[in-house]
Amino acid sequence: MPLLEINSLTVDYRTSRGAIRAVENVSFALKKGETLGLVGESGSGKSTLGLSIIRLVSYPGVIVKGHVKIDGKDIVRLPEHELRSVRGGKVAYIFQDPMTSLNPVKKISAHFVELIRTHEPNVNREEALERAKTVLKDLGIRPERINDYPHQFSGGMRQRIMIGLAIALNPGVVIADEPTTALDVIVQEKILDLLESLRNAYGMALILISHDLSIILERCDRVIVMYAGHMLEHASSTELHKNPMHPYTQGLLQSIPNVELADQKLAAIPGSPPNMLNPPRGCRFWPRCSYAKKICRTKEPPLIDIGHNHLVRCFKYHKSWSKVE
Amino acid sequence: MSDASNTTKAGQKLSETVKVEHLKKYFPVQKSFLEQLFGRKMSYVKAVDDITFSVKRGEIFTLAGESGCGKTTTGRLIIRLLEPTAGAIYFNGVDTTKLKGEKLRLLRRKMQIIFQDPYASLSPRMKIVDAVGHPLEIHGLTTGKEKKKMVSEVLNKVGLTPPEQFINLYPHQLSGGQRQRVALARSIILNPEFIVADEPVSMIDVSLRATLIDLMLNLRKDLGLTYLFITHDLAVAKYISDRIAIMYLGKIVEMSSKESIFLNPMHPYTQALLSAIPIPNPERKRKRIELIGEVPSAINIPTGCRFHPRCPYKKDECSRKAPPITEVEKEHFVACHLIKS
């Protein structure tokens, strides 16, 4: 049984100007010890998807359809008080901005003690502190710094502490939402290395959310490409790199500079991401797609498997493509 | 190109648009009341600490480094948004740090800046025609119909076509990429020679970055611009630059053509920085250079070489003496005791 199973998850934001479908019919499963990457531009729904997994999308965001099963239990239908043991305990979330995610008037120790004792009331303060110190050691932070306040740490160190808080209860799944976007490259590399080694040491599954396809391809086993709330492609990272199928994925790969290539010519994707209040009919990507035919503008393409567990949402790979106008 | 006869009175080569000599910017740190009472010595953030470089006419010169290295401060000093603590900045042979009043105002037409955040750099209450045309009014060049015509022309140049569709919009009606084009249009409307582009693409969606970069490259060709490009993203730097200077804690540690920086990085910091760039290829395993710790605070700068506490190759000498920046190979400058020409 997979650790996490998501089935046709659909999330709306009910705004005064109409409902915005931020995530539509997303399904995937996650195994123990696996790293899954969610990649997309702003507004693609990747963060909403991440937050819905622990039902943290706040109003006007509403999960309108689908299931999120963790250890076989459906989170979408769980009463609020039972959710508390899932959040942090079974699935932990690391937010983008380490500067605002910690309480500035509380010591690091207080953050850990509160977290551990909320979930495990039988643990006393001393035991909680001991456990917190062990975690800090794993993060490469001197345990005596547990008595410092957040402002005494640099951005990279704060993100380490956020990661420490996420793994302190040994959750099965950790969701890291742009964990290194606010950090410099050298620190970014260290944080991603740390996540990878913790994943191996603690045997958890990791969902990495990023707009940076380079990071995703480098660090993840499998990748989901999101665009305007839709899953456009889903494949192993090696397969996606060698054999990108969706015109959007192909465009993304051509639009990012790769320092390893000499004389690279970047090619941008024409147009810009759609306004989600009024998304295009049919395939969400057709207005920017150079292959688009009439069918793409009227019908929504289904997600099909083209072999090797490579899923793609594009009519181009349907048998009838050469025949349609 | 570099014969001595082609120099100005100030010793700047004619082939150089901007030349910076021993530039320094120290920001005083606010002291608390008690500290003032006990007369504690003023401390400073040494944001830029004695850097020298020049930007050749028509080239794209990049300042790259991590946050806090002083790259943005340098850009702002050059276009005189900040007063330098010491040093000289030559623009076409004139030391701009000595200019005041009308002369400084005229100079500002020749150099412009594009900021990182297109959501903050455009006034939400100004229509595009007014925002882009504002420099024309400030410099008393033109208003009204003539202004509108000129705005339409530059909007065409930055690819916001047809201009009539954009001219009466407000910034909130545009996407991030379009706003950055507006900022670019505003920067070129006075026909400048030199543009400081401070992280112009880091807040733009990935799929649109390439168009903006290519637009900047085309404008350089069409309008004969010279750019100082400021970025933390070395992959972008490699794509756009002619020459690159790597900064660390207010100093330039290495400076050369883009090719030799990437093929033959010499400073241990440059090597570490390059080895940390993610590569969009799951099968490629990079050779890592691990650094110790993090960038120290710019208030308490380490003695000797500023990089020595984190350097994997440090020697005794490194903590005592600051290495001067020297030309190790032709046009390749490095500040490191380990590297001798």
Same domain, residue pair B167 and B308: no
Same domain, residue pair B277 and B230: no
What CATH number was assigned to the domain covering residues A4-105+149-322?
3.40.50.300
Same domain, residue pair B188 and B302: no
Q: Is a pLDDT exceeding 90 seen at residue B43? A: no
Residue B151 lies in a domain: yes
Residue B112 lies in a domain: yes
Residue B41 lies in a domain: yes
Same domain, residue pair B24 and B77: yes
The C-alpha atoms of residue A159 and residue A98 are separated, in whole angstroms, by 5
Q: What is the dihedral of CA B64, B180, B215, B278, to 10 degrees?
A: 40
Same domain, residue pair B278 and B151: no
Q: Does B278 touch chain A (CB under 8 A)?
A: yes
Same domain, residue pair B213 and B332: no
Residue B253 lies in a domain: no
Name B329's bridge partners: B332
Q: Does B5 touch chain A (CB under 8 A)?
A: no
Q: Is a pLDDT exceeding 60 seen at residue B2? A: no
pLDDT by residue (tens digit) across A150-203?
999 888 889 899 999 999 999 999 999 999 887 888 888 988 999 999 999 988
Give the pLDDT confidence score for residue B4 in this predicted structure.
46
Q: Give the three-state DSSP class for B49.
A: strand
Which of B66, B239, B278 faces A215 most closely, judged by CB atoms?
B278
The C-alpha atoms of residue A317 and residue A294 are separated, in whole angstroms, by 15
Same domain, residue pair B195 and B145: yes
What is the number of domains present in chain B?
A: 2
Query: Which residues have CB under 8 Å from A78's CB, separation 6+?
Result: A55, A86
**Residue B301, number of CB atoms within 10 A of its CB:** 16
Please answer whether residues A35 and A25 qualify as being in contact, where contact means their C-beta atoms are separated by less than 8 angstroms: no
pLDDT by residue (tens digit) across A42-72?
889 999 999 999 999 988 999 999 999 998 8
pLDDT by residue (tens digit) across B114-134?
998 888 999 999 999 999 999
Q: For B329, which DSSP code?
A: E
Name B341's bridge partners: none
Helices and strands, counts by H and E, chain B: 11, 12
Mutate to test the interface with A, among B205, B253, B283 (most CBs of A within 10 A): B205
Closest CA to B304 of B236, B245, B249: B249
Same domain, residue pair B57 and B167: yes
Same domain, residue pair B216 and B283: no
Amino acid, single-letter form, for residue B284: R
pLDDT by residue (tens digit) across B275-316?
999 999 888 777 778 888 888 888 889 999 999 999 999 999
Tokens matching residue B120: 């903050």
pTM (predicted TM-score): 0.88
CA-nearest residue to A155 within chain B is B294
Residue B258 lies in a domain: no
Residue B294 lies in a domain: yes
Chain A residues whose CB is inside 8 A of the B283 CB are 238, 241
Same domain, residue pair B171 and B115: yes
Mutate to test the interface with B, among A185, A208, A222, A254 (most CBs of B within 10 A): A185
Give the pLDDT confidence score for residue B291 in this predicted structure.
86
Tokens matching residue B26: 């120290």
- Which sequence spans correspond to the domains of chain A? 4-105+149-322
ipTM: 0.84
Give the pLDDT confidence score for residue B284 in this predicted structure.
73
pLDDT by residue (tens digit) across B233-284?
999 999 999 999 999 999 999 999 999 999 999 999 999 999 999 999 888 7
Mean pLDDT value across chain B: 90
Tell if the CB–CB gap between B235 and A253 is shorter than 8 Å: no
Element (H, E) at B222: helix B206-223
pLDDT by residue (tens digit) across A228-278?
999 999 999 999 999 999 999 999 999 988 888 878 888 889 888 888 888
Strands (E), B36-159: 44-56, 60-64, 86-91, 94-95, 111-114
The DSSP-derived string for A40-73 is: --TTSSHHHHHHHHTT-PPTTEEEEEEEEEETTE
Residue B257 lies in a domain: no
Hunting for tokens 């009341």 — which residue is that? B33
> What domain range includes position B290?
269-341
Residue B138 lies in a domain: yes
* Domain at B106, CATH number: 3.40.50.300
Mutate to test the interface with B, among A41, A139, A197, A258 (most CBs of B within 10 A): A258
Number of A to B CB contacts under 8 A, please give it: 114
Q: Is a pLDDT exceeding 80 seen at residue B207? A: yes
Same domain, residue pair B177 and B291: no
pLDDT by residue (tens digit) across A80-116?
888 888 888 899 999 887 778 899 999 999 999 999 9
**Residue A254, number of CB atoms within 10 A of its CB:** 17
